Structure 1
Amino acid sequence: MTDRRLMLVHAHPDDETIGSGATMAKYAAEGAHVVLVTCTLGEEGEVIPPELAHLTADRDDTLGKHRIGELTAACEALGVADHRFLGGPGRWRDSGMMGVASNDRDTAFWQADLDEAAGELVKIIREVRPQVLITYDKNGFYGHPDHIQAHRVSWRAFELAADPEFGEGEPWRIAKFYFTAVPMSVMRGDEKALRERGAGFFVEEVGDLPFGCADQDVTTEIDGRAHIGEKFGAMRAHATQITVDPPWFALSNNAGQRAFGVEHFILRAGVRGPAGPGASIEVGGLGEPYDREDDLFAGID
């Protein structure tokens, strides 16, 4: 298909780059319309560079405004020209990690009325008319309240956008709905490689991490290795949040992670397209040759 439109819904600035940056850069370079919707400004994030520590919520509380600039630069690095904040910049505030006091703010995304937030996303869906939407699974990939809410809002908008009785604008049915994913075999291989690398980043046990999925659950694998440079450029743009040492990066906890050029997804709704063995077998030789789509638009007329 020639008129490809891909929408991604992420919780905070930097999530788009970490979880789907290579995919975004690949499709943007191929001429697809890639639209990124970010749900909050990430105001509750920690800050890595000491000279920017004053931006945090417990000091100047200006991190959100600063991260708008970081996200703009990251999108430029990825070649993504269409970026929106859900409901406008700052409409909903970063909720912070699960169980902290900032979860209870009236303005926190975690407290957002589901249909109100989904209605804002429906407006964008009906304008852009994407065939494919990507967000997190019901656990928000790793359990953050804003990630969980992004899943809920995206799924509700997926349903409502096709309902002619809801809102304004022409109804639109998204053909395929995906979750981001990281297979356990990839995580185990990266843990081994990071331990062999030596000092620099803290190494976490894969079994202790709040994310990762069974290899056989992955339906789709996008080979964006040709665009890993763009992904690292976008990571560097998020300087308050990410330390970069290719092929590795770390967040404020200094726990090392690999920046994936091959990114994985799980098809939640829609018809799965033709599948092949996937690129992961070529990257480190780990895992099984599961049949996986290699194109998010596979099977769409």
Structure 2
Amino acid sequence: MTRLVLVHAHPDDETITCGGLMARAVGAGWDVTLVTCTLGELGEVIPPELKHLEGSDELAPHRAEELGKACAALGVTDHRLLGGRGRWRDSGMVATGEGIRAAEPDDLAEGAFANRADVDLQVHQLTELLEELEPDVVVSYDAGGGYGHPDHVRAHEIAGGAVERIDPLGERVALYATAAAHDEVDAGLARLRRRAWLPLPVPPVEDLPTVPDAEITTRVVLGPARVRKLAALRAHATQISVLDDGSDPPAFALSNGLAQPVTGSEGFVLLRGPDGGLGALSA
């Protein structure tokens, strides 16, 4: 049995980038574990009726409930919080002014996941989990954290560090980064712009974190698993709005109010280890 471990920074990151992969892996009989590093305590809340949660101590437990519902929609039954509940907190971010890109705040609070002094402990905590789980495939982010969020960057750092510790020669564990294929996203955006009913603006592809299609080493075609991914996106109601009238592709929006396509495949870039770890799900 193939064992897959996904290392994500906040609740909802797993569904946006890997929801289809997770659903397809479960359907293929893989052993799937999701590791979430924080509960997204500083997340912005979209629905007016839930806006009172923003900035309060109630947001983290609420997002934990949303994550549980999302995992259930994807069929994932093994979920871990790095270091235990409440050990690491959302670091927050600042906008860079360059499309949907983020950077680290000037001041990080105590316990913030991105604090430099804590990286060795975080690698140790994740290493212990990976030693227990013995994964064949680990998925996280690229060195830039996808769009620059400091917690995504840290998740990349500790995923790479922990995989190197359990597989120092890179012979057994395949480490992948999530990646959105530029041309597929661009085509999806173009289709969204043709929908008169869409209530939100559609950004140019240059504003989104994508990579050239040629750099994608594995594409996981979602097929029917996209229905599960949409259900999981809806579960993260504080963070995500789903826009779906039955057209292809459906869309989602974050707190920035920009419509993005839920594409028909998810892309991944092999960073380390044996090629082909996700190959069985690429068809």
TM-score (norm 2): 0.89
Preserved CA contact (<8 Å) 1:74 1:234: yes
Matches within 5 A, 1:274-289: none
Residue 105 (str. 1) matches residue 119 (str. 2): no
Residue 222 (str. 1) matches residue 220 (str. 2): yes
Out of 236, 255, 260, the position equivalent to 2:258 is: 255
Preserved CA contact (<8 Å) 1:133 1:177: yes
Residue 126 (str. 1) matches residue 131 (str. 2): yes
Higher mean C-alpha deviation, range 198-207 or range 240-249: 198-207
Preserved CA contact (<8 Å) 2:25 2:281: no
For 1:243 and 1:46, the matched residues in 2 are separated by 12
CA positional deviation for 1:205: 1.2
1:238-266 per-residue CA deviation (whole Å, 9 max, x = no partner) reads: 01011112211111111111123311100
Amino acid in structure 1 at the alignment position of 2:80? R
For 1:111 and 1:203, the matched residues in 2 are separated by 34
Preserved CA contact (<8 Å) 2:188 2:263: no
Preserved CA contact (<8 Å) 1:132 1:297: no
User: CA 1:25–1:76 in structure 2 vs 1: closer, same or farther (change >3 Å)?
Assistant: same
For 2:48 and 2:36, the matched residues in 1 are separated by 26
Preserved CA contact (<8 Å) 1:227 1:261: no
For 1:62 and 1:174, the matched residues in 2 are separated by 41
CA positional deviation for 1:131: 0.3
Aligned to 1:84: 80
Aligned to 1:52: 50
| Identity across matched positions, percent | 45
Aligned to 1:273: 276
Aligned to 1:179: 177
Matches within 5 A, 1:68-217: 68-97=64-93, 98-100=103-105, 103-111=107-115, 113-162=118-167, 174-198=172-196, 199-209=198-208, 211-217=209-215
For 1:156 and 1:74, the matched residues in 2 are separated by 28
For 1:155 and 1:23, the matched residues in 2 are separated by 20
Preserved CA contact (<8 Å) 1:4 1:33: yes
Aligned to 2:99: none
CA RMSD in angstroms, aligned pairs only: 2.1
For 2:4 and 2:263, the matched residues in 1 are separated by 20
CA positional deviation for 1:111: 0.4
Preserved CA contact (<8 Å) 1:129 1:174: no
CA positional deviation for 1:6: 0.3
For 1:208 and 1:253, the matched residues in 2 are separated by 12
Secondary structure at 1:201 match in 2: coil
Bigger relative contact order (CA 8 A; separation at least 6): 2
CA positional deviation for 1:37: 0.3
Preserved CA contact (<8 Å) 2:167 2:173: no
Gaps of 5+ in 2: 94-102, 245-249
Aligned to 1:287: none
Preserved CA contact (<8 Å) 1:22 1:260: no
User: CA 1:174–1:141 in structure 2 vs 1: closer, same or farther (change >3 Å)?
Assistant: farther
Amino acid in structure 2 at the alignment position of 1:141? G
For 2:172 and 2:270, the matched residues in 1 are separated by 13
1:147-183 per-residue CA deviation (whole Å, 9 max, x = no partner) reads: 00000011111112246xxxxxxxx975211010011
For 1:162 and 1:232, the matched residues in 2 are separated by 35
For 2:255 and 2:266, the matched residues in 1 are separated by 23
User: CA 1:175–1:208 in structure 2 vs 1: closer, same or farther (change >3 Å)?
Assistant: same
The count of residues paired between Structure 1 and Structure 2 equals 267
Residue 67 (str. 1) matches residue 63 (str. 2): yes
For 2:23 and 2:104, the matched residues in 1 are separated by 35
Amino acid in structure 1 at the alignment position of 2:109? R
Amino acid in structure 1 at the alignment position of 2:181? P
Secondary structure at 1:109 match in 2: coil
Preserved CA contact (<8 Å) 1:220 1:295: no
Preserved CA contact (<8 Å) 1:46 1:252: yes
CA positional deviation for 1:105: 0.8
Gaps of 5+ in 1: 164-171, 275-292
